[in-house]
A and B are shown apart, each in its own frame.
Chain A
Amino acid sequence: MNEIIKIENLTKDFGQGRGIFDVNLSIKRGEVFGLVGINGSGKTTIMRHLMGFLHPDKGRSQIMDGDCWHHSAELKKYVGYIPGEISFPDVRTGVDFLKLQADYMGLRSMNDANELIESLNLDPTAKLKRMSKGMKQKTAIVNAFMCDSDILLLDEATTGLDPLMQKSFTEIIKKEKRKGKTIFMSSHMFDEMESTCDRVAFLKDGRIIHVVDMKTILGNEKSKEYKIEFNKESDYLAFLTKDFDITRQKDEYNQVTIRIPDTHSDRLFRVLSSMDVRFISHMPYTLEMCFKEVYNNANNTEVA
């Protein structure tokens, strides 16, 4: 049972083009899988199907071979969840809330919870009503992770966290990943996904338009982009004639950006060796760049 989350032709039509349409995803055990898309692209709808809150119009979603709708209650033994919208039940403090949830889950030891509270620097004795958005989010994070669940569904888990805490969150994700947990997270923070995810799916208007394997980007790409700036205009102009794949150029700075396959790197250096180069820098292909490219392409094909 290597395939732990399986989504097949999942469709939920809310009308007026909203909803999700023919979503197919397969997530392996131990994988950290990301879901990105602009607001309203259907991230939360997919999460809600996995949680068994929504009944699909067509298709189905499964967790560990159990249907997410029919077996939703049993599956919760293995699933930790952070809802997209944080709204706590009617209890006084963070501690009261975590105890209540531990009670529901039949959790005996709060050791994991205390460890998480420490790493997130949270004061759980504060009143829930007085908590800032970030504190509430941290409380929800502790709740999702404290039961040591095998599968984690995180719907925009870092909204409201300051950058430092987002780092701590990333550390928590990495730690859980090392423990072999399967994590399915939606976010619109690209750097957070870059540092944690194995694969990322792009969602647009309820459809998966692309699934990117993180191994193929972030400096691992086979063909890299370099930005080169020359001290002399003559060198710059000479370089332009050398038949490189130029992606951008800025004449006023004598600056050019080229894309070149790794196998041709030596040719670049031979050409540059005779020139007066001010700097050369590698432009890593980030998730964000990839996303924008795919998104815009999807737009263009629609127009055409």
Chain B
Amino acid sequence: MISNTLMKQTIKSNIVLWVILTGIQAAMVALVAGAGTNLQQTALAYYNMLPGLISAIYVIITGNKLISQQVDKGTLAYVLSTPIKRSKAAMTQATFFVGSLFLMFGISAAAHIFSHYITVGSITFEEVKMILLLNLGLFVLNVALSGICFLASCVFNLSKYTIAVGGGIVGAFLILSIMSMFGESFHWMKNITLVTLFDINSVLSNSADFIWKFIVLAVVGIVTYTIGSAAFSKRDLPL
């Protein structure tokens, strides 16, 4: 299904950015949680906008690096001159992308739980569950966003188009979601961005609304990754 050699190589070339951004994100959530406010307030302060921006940087840059940049530069010729199928190469890159995001938010969740426990001195099962759900939400949101970038990366021969289209869409979703917080007249923008499906209020108020929204995000991810891999396997490559 995936190529171990390519996986090792992909990890090596993407780990630096991942470590930096995962570190910043974990430190940020730990700091916000360390302020000692209750979980609801922390969640609203932190989960509303900050992590989306940091992981978006990771998603846009890495998405481009995984396929498009290697086609653009021609380095993929060396991978595809070995008996590795294109679909296997795409699958390996996709696995890395999703896996690295999972770990990123796993670490964030751990940092949040740890910081909350240290500051407050105790933590309830409900609170742990909430923190895990919030990070799961961020994870599925980023699966969807990374899927869009991955799809762009699979389709375009040139990095600049991948960044423009993949990064443009992801950036637009984030900006729309932030703009919609700026008052009533901008509120409609909420309806046209995927970020809205990461429904913090539903998680915090213990309603079940977030479940279908998270599922939709996951489906967007699965569909974009699948189409991307298929497109990459079938198209002409200038290598």
Contact = CB atoms under 8 A, between A and B. Distances in A.
B9 to A, nearest CB: 6
Contact of B239 (A51, A76, A97): A51
A54 B236 CA distance: 4
A280 B237 CA distance: 54
Interface in B81-101: 81-86, 88
Interface residues of A, number: 29
A79 B77 CA distance: 13
Given A87-B75, A90-B75, A103-B5, A77 B83 contact: yes
A85 B73 CA distance: 9
A81 B81 contact: yes
Given A89-B9, A90-B75, A100-B9, A105 B236 contact: no
A74 interface: yes
Interface in A164-188: none
A61 interface: no
A159 to B, nearest CB: 14
B239 A48 contact: yes
B84 A104 contact: yes
A74 B74 contact: no
Interface string A69-104: 000111011011101011111110000010011011
B84 A88 contact: no
A53 B78 contact: no
B82 A76 contact: yes
B238 A88 contact: no
Contacts of B86: 72-73
A259 interface: no
Given A77-B83, A89-B78, A104-B79, A83 B12 contact: no
Interface in A148-205: none
A115 B38 CA distance: 68
B81 A79 contact: yes
A253 to B, nearest CB: 51
A173 B38 CA distance: 73
A143 interface: yes
B85 A100 contact: no
Given A87-B73, A90-B12, A103-B5, A53 B237 contact: yes
Contacts of A87: 73-75, 77
Given A89-B78, A90-B13, A74 B237 contact: no
Nearest to A49: B236
B75 A88 contact: yes
A89 B75 contact: yes
Contact of A104 (B5, B74, B77, B236): B5
A101 B82 contact: yes
Contacts of A80: 81
A209 to B, nearest CB: 25
A242 to B, nearest CB: 58
Contacts of A91: 9, 12
B85 A85 contact: no
Contacts of A55: 234-236
B1 to A, nearest CB: 14
Given A76-B83, A100-B9, A143 B78 contact: yes
B67 to A, nearest CB: 13
Contacts of A51: 77, 80-81, 239
Interface of A: 48, 51-55, 72-74, 76-77, 79-81, 83, 85-91, 97, 100-101, 103-105, 143
Given A79-B81, A81-B81, 12 more contacts: A51-B81, A53-B238, A55-B234, A55-B236, A72-B85, A73-B88, A83-B78, A87-B73, A89-B9, A101-B78, A104-B3, A104-B5
23 contacts: A48-B239, A51-B77, A51-B80, A51-B239, A52-B80, A54-B236, A55-B236, A72-B85, A73-B84, A76-B81, A76-B82, A76-B83, A76-B84, A77-B83, A80-B81, A83-B78, A87-B74, A87-B77, A89-B9, A89-B70, A89-B78, A90-B13, A104-B84
The list of the 7 closest CB pairs from A to B, nearest first, reads A104-B82, A87-B74, A90-B13, A73-B85, A81-B81, A53-B237, A89-B75
